[in-house]
Amino acid sequence: MNAIVTVVGQDRVGIIAAVCTKLAGYHVNILDISQTILQGSFTMVMAVDVGAASAPFGELQSALAALGEEMGLSIRIQREEIFNAMHTI
Partner 1 sequence: MLNQKDILSTIEMIDQQHLDIRTITMGISLLSCCDPDPVRACEKIYEKITRSAERLVRTGEDIEREFGIPIVNKRISVTPMALVAGASETEDYVPFALALDRAAKTCGVNFIGGYSALVQKGMTKADEKLIRSIPEALDRTELVCSSVNVGSTKAGINMDAVALMGRIIKATADATADRDGLGCAKLVVFCNAVEDNPFMAGAFHGVGEAERVINVGVSGPGVVHHALQAVKGQPFDVVAETVKKTAFRVTRMGQLVAQEASRRLDTPFGIVDLSLAPTPAIGDSVARILEEMGLETCGTHGTTAALALLNDAVKKGGVMASSSVGGLSGAFIPVSEDEGMIAAARAGTLCLDKLEAMTCVCSVGLDMIAVPGDTPAETISAIIADEAAIGMVNCKTTAVRLLPAPGKTVGDTIEMGGLLGSAPVMPVHPESSADFIARGGRIPAPMHSLKN
Q: How far is the CB of 81 from partner 1 (least distance, A)?
A: 6
What distance lies between CA 40 and its chain's CA centroid? 19
Residue pair 20/82 in contact (Cβ under 8 Å)? The answer is no
**Contacts with partner 1, 1-30, as mask; x by CB under 8 A:** ---x-x-x----------------------
- Which of 13, 14, 17, 34 is the binder for partner 1 (CB under 8 A)? 34
Q: Is 86 in the site for partner 1 (CB under 8 A)?
A: yes
Q: CA 12, CA 78: separation in Å to the nearest integer? A: 24
